[in-house]
Structure 1
């Protein structure tokens, strides 16, 4: 998770006040020396299974709230198209009818599915939008935590694989090669919704804003005092503590981790991120923070890197212009976390000197 931080001094260990929750991104606005006529207007709504906060810098209150309304409306619309949890969504209809299919879909859904498949190919299947059958097996949101059997996982894997998704750009249709398939856009749709909200704000004449969806965000422009937005990367094992701070301007910052949605059983952690190649929850990597030019790609990349792990994930990011990454993985010795970063990461982030390549 990433947080907006407002302290003007950079503390050595980034300790946050007691009670500072990690359940959702907390944005603290402290604008010393703000311009007299510019104000930050913000609103928060529950969307896409999280809390979304949008803040805009504007002189005119009516214009600011109109822009906020339009941005939220756009995100709500996208949720109605791409949610796998709403029976009335376009994605749910595709999942019901994709086999034997094909199904005619909207240009927007076709584009995101196509983008998701591109990232599936780029990550060699570590990110895969066809992971739906596997997600249904794991009891993340069920009271009784009964783990799936190896046979159940093996059966579900027969209906997983981006190569089994059939795209016809001419007819703008999507179909499935085998029965039982189901797409899940949870690893890319939230980023896309953030980008669409940013576009709505720009079209409304907003030049500075922050769109924050439960820890994944896009920072546009600068704060009223002329400084960049300050974004903190949370320690995945210590609530309220940061490991790095970014001064963000016109950039997306997305974190994927195993510490917000997970359950423990028999002393083992099971997160909401499933490795589509094995069918089991991803292990070994606690969090991945991606900095990139847009939230859609950063969202998919963060999930893919978490599944790939630090070595393969870092190699991938180093081939992608405009993207930087920080990876926190379980240390081989079993204590603490290993900190791995791309070559340009420290140009963006100020990392706690005490951490270096090891995070206690």
Structure 2
């Protein structure tokens, strides 16, 4: 655990691998023991959620749902039922750009450097044949989940980390702290103030220069989630293909390099960041501008910067190279 001391309040941070991702939990307190206790409580909550939603754990309720695809409905905890129900609402909102049944996608795209040629169109079409959120059948009275077709799977890779960050921060905020922050590999949510008693200041990185921050955002009890195509990709015949795949078509998405969603809820921001990436600039902005209290910042493959209506920058829709931005929400 690292410690940064500024005046009376101290920033305590712990970094560890959870849910297959890098989690960073920070607690602000005058009491080191209380801060450590809060961080440990947040970690325990993330581990609990991982056991519930992990498809890798053969004993999880999620695995039980998958095992019984096309066979029978499975009774699940109310918590998991509600998460799936919220996921389906986002699928409907985005026209299937977000879909937890993406997990049944056959692996035809590989991003380990070994892929040298394009898969044929029939192979790609077959890879997404089992993806259809409308075939996830919920029964609220019996609290059951049923995957209608054999071979269907569900996964929470595009919403699970945000949900876990929400839940961990909720527990930490009820403890003896003045501020807390949970960062789940880019799914970030804050509460209270930083060690200086100010709003948390979050840097958004340049997709082309990962070590450089191109914009700063001051947040207070807000989530910021960024999705990017700059870490996993494959190049075939000089064309670069992102690891973010449209679940409706089976093809990698094009046009955007980075999408950041800003809203009070990390779970929703997590799902919408993926959705906007899939929808693309125009449809993505159209969606976000319809949603109250949610803002978006995106960078195109041409390094142009665009924002939703209520997110203001001092200099927008220009190449981001060699510019710094201070982001403001609202008027």
Q: Give TM-score scaled by structure 2 length.
A: 0.90
Pick from 330, 339, 357 the counterpart of residue 305 of structure 2: 339
SS of the residue corresponding to residue 231 of structure 1 reads strand
Q: Distance in 2 between matches of 1:146 and 1:78?
A: 39
Structure 1 unaligned residues grouped into runs of 5+: 1-27, 331-335
Deviation at 1:240, TM superposition (A): 1.6
Aligned to 2:144: 173
Pick from 201, 224, 243 the counterpart of residue 214 of structure 2: 243
Q: How many residues align?
A: 320
Aligned to 1:95: 66
Which of the pair has the greater relative contact order for Cα pairs under 8 Å at 6+ separation? 1
Aligned to 1:11: none
Deviations 1:68-127 (A, max 9, x none): 111001111111221233334322221121322211111111111111111101111111
Deviations 1:242-265 (A, max 9, x none): 221101111000011111233333
Alignment map for 1:1-360 (pairs within 5 Å) = 34-36=6-8, 38-134=9-105, 136-140=107-111, 148-330=119-301, 336-346=302-312, 353=315, 356-360=317-321
Q: Distance in 2 between matches of 1:236 and 1:142?
A: 20
SS of the residue corresponding to residue 182 of structure 2 reads strand
Deviation at 1:39, TM superposition (A): 0.9
Q: Flag the 1:176–1:111 CA change in 2: closer, same or farther, 3 A.
A: same
Taking only aligned residues, the RMSD between alpha carbons, in angstroms, comes to: 2.1
Deviations 1:138-166 (A, max 9, x none): 22358556654322222232211111111
Q: Distance in 1 between matches of 2:285 and 2:275?
A: 11
Deviation at 1:179, TM superposition (A): 1.5
Q: Flag the 1:71–1:289 CA change in 2: closer, same or farther, 3 A.
A: same
Q: Flag the 1:83–1:147 CA change in 2: closer, same or farther, 3 A.
A: farther
Deviation at 1:135, TM superposition (A): 5.8
Structure with more of its chain in strand, by fraction = 2
Q: Distance in 1 between matches of 2:165 and 2:287?
A: 24
SS of the residue corresponding to residue 359 of structure 1 reads coil
SS of the residue corresponding to residue 11 of structure 2 reads strand
Deviations 1:212-233 (A, max 9, x none): 1112101211112122111111
Structure 2 unaligned residues grouped into runs of 5+: 322-331
Q: Flag the 1:99–1:287 CA change in 2: closer, same or farther, 3 A.
A: same
Deviation at 1:62, TM superposition (A): 1.5
Q: Flag the 1:137–1:169 CA change in 2: closer, same or farther, 3 A.
A: farther
Q: Give TM-score scaled by structure 1 length.
A: 0.83
Q: Flag the 1:73–1:303 CA change in 2: closer, same or farther, 3 A.
A: same
